[in-house]
Chain A
Amino acid sequence: MVTQSPTLGGPTALAPRPVISPRRDAFRRLRRNRLALMGGVIVVILLVIAVFGPALAPWHYRVQDLEALRANGNRPLPPLSPGHLLGTDQLGRDLFSRLLDGAQISMSVAIVVQLVVLAIGVPIGAAAGWFGGRLDNYLMRFTDVVYAFPDLLFIILLSVVFQATPIGEAMDGLLLIFIAIGLTAWVTMARLVRGQVLSLKESEFVEAARAIGVSDRKIVTRHLLPNAIGPVIVAVTLGIPSAILAEATLSFIGIGIQSPRASWGSLIDDGSRWIQSEPHLVIFPSLALAIALASYTFLGDGLRDALDPKLRSRQ
């Protein structure tokens, strides 16, 4: 912003009005929503933990504190033990450190799966909505088939088939999880984008863009998709908890992340065997999972309210 010269005090020196872009306007509304703001803050904290947590963790996630374990009679250490804030598991691994590492896995699942969803869902939905006709029919029937297929069964099948291959072993099994969850979750995104494109392509500004000879490709990328971005952002944010949950479910039934790395889901699975005597092994990972899911959901709800033009007049 150029600072105004103070010498020009005449009536011609109009102060430039601040430009309020639609996005900025939405952000302003989001900030007023306390629950969403809290969700957003926790999401940011989780993301920071995901990036730096493993480096800051007091223990490496696979290191066993055998001395302490022996001293405790080969039983998992309880929370608030010296050196182990949240205790250890039955192998003497620090639970707090493993939770931090699990955050990295959950957050990467959250983000990468949504990228896969965007990469598949947006082009398919946009193509179906834009071209319409037979292509729309084919794409949407394919989408219906994927939608109708039981997600978990499909993911389990994929995991089982590829488990022993390089794909299955890459990144401790994470890559396979990304692909498997992404391949089932894009369906709603495709439908959403199709609906948006269908309604927007009839809008007058698209017709106006056509009337000045803008190419179809640019109409889609410059006029349609930017106008559809609000609902897409909301869908992505609200899709994250289900992706995290899907990963946790997979890990819980033992086909997700491979040991010794652990996600929150597999920590719950491990802990469930000790749930009677050492409930903290289940409680803490479950708590982490619940907080993450709730935060994303609150943030997503807040974003929806902020971006939904119908609610604008209420402010």
Chain B
Amino acid sequence: MTRPELVEISTREGARLAAQLADDADRHDRRLLHVQDLSTYFFTPGGAVHAVDEVSFDLDYGETLGLVGESGSGKTVTALSIARLVAEPPGRIVSGEVIFDGIDLLRLSREEMRLVRGRKIGFVFQDPMTSLNPTLTVGRQIGESARTHLGLSRAAAARHAADLLGTVGIPRARDRLGDYPHQFSGGMRQRVMIAIALACQPMLLIADEPTTALDVTIQAQIMELLRSLSREFRTAVILITHDLGLAAGMCQRVSVMYAGRIVESGVVDDIFERPRMPYTAALLDSRARLDIEPGGRLRTIEGLPPDLLDPAAECRFAPRCPHRRGICLEREPDMTPRPSAGDGHTARCWGTEPGGWIP
């Protein structure tokens, strides 16, 4: 398959990006993405909602990271913050840094950031039924990114779009460029979304619950497509999902989010084998599994996530935690290493710290 030569951004902003990249490259070696203490609040009449609170994580070039947590835990806002797509107002990134390929994205101007989006960071959204413009043909929507960032002509963009559509597994791609989104099924549309996200061969693909709106058989196909394409394009992926099993099948590492914070992070197998945070353990327990006896009920986690309007100083999971002790309600623990669970494994829990009471 031929792809058009990728043209570097040739504007003044591009030159600045390059200069900044050279500056920062030495300090943050070998990391595609370094998120440090990222906080995004939503300012509502009732006060500031701490949707993302001092989140830190790293991502290597070509690596796949799962961001797992229940609804409202801040996964999506974290992803939107990285691409600076948080609606402002009411949202605002209040602190932190997002070093992407050596550039602090939070310090870029709006226009510079626009040139990064789509070019270096691709996005796949949850609902393919509403994420495509109903009045434009699929071919034009796929070509749009390449026309915006690579300066392709309309004809070249159409050829590029046909290639991409074939790459994501849509038969008779060339004939379908002129079709409108309503002529595609949900799974096909998600393929189209993936084609759009990959149009400029980004270094990072953020997939926000890419299969939640699809049925299970299509889900498997889409995940397989994401897996093979990220390998082929050498694209790093952040997979946002509430489904630990899905993350396990696709990701090398997983970070678990709860109430705006990352509470546990590590290699997939370690997390599954030896969760070092009761919330992760509870999530694993509440999965629908084949070995549940017929008629048995799914396990759930008692209680509700805390109000993020004014988070208390305690461990945020403490009110729902079966293992909690006095200290959990007094102070919130930090993310600290858990070498016993595996290399680079970290967790935020008093009970599993050295000398803790959770085995």
Contacts and interface: CB of A to CB of B under 8 A. Distances in A.
Contacts of A14: 172
Interface in B149-168: 149
Interface in B177-209: 178-180, 182-183, 193, 196-197, 199
B135 interface: yes
Contacts, number: 82
A16 B174 CA distance: 11
Contact of A210 (B85, B130, B133, B134): B85
A229 B180 CA distance: 17
Contact of B148 (A20, A205, A212): A212
Interface string B83-101: 1010000000000000000
A19 B180 contact: yes
A208 B132 contact: yes
A212 B145 contact: yes
The number of chain A residues touching the other chain, given as a range, is 20 to 34
B183 A20 contact: yes
B144 A21 contact: no
Interface stretch (A71-79, A170-178, A219-227, A251-259): A219-227
Query: Chain B contact residues (Cβ within 8 angstroms of A): what range?
Result: 20 to 34
Contact of A22 (B145, B180, B199): B180
B118 A205 contact: no
A205 B130 contact: yes
Interface in B27-64: none
Contacts of B131: 204-205, 207-208
B134 A227 contact: yes
Contacts of A218: 148
B119 interface: yes
A210 B113 CA distance: 11
B196 A226 contact: no
B125 A204 contact: yes
B205 to A, nearest CB: 11
B317 interface: no
Interface of B: 83, 85, 114-119, 122-123, 125, 127, 130-136, 144-145, 148-149, 172, 175, 178-180, 182-183, 193, 196-197, 199
Interface of A: 14, 16-17, 19-22, 203-205, 207-215, 218, 222-223, 226-227, 229
11 contacts: A22-B182, A204-B130, A205-B130, A207-B125, A208-B123, A208-B193, A209-B144, A211-B117, A211-B122, A212-B145, A215-B148
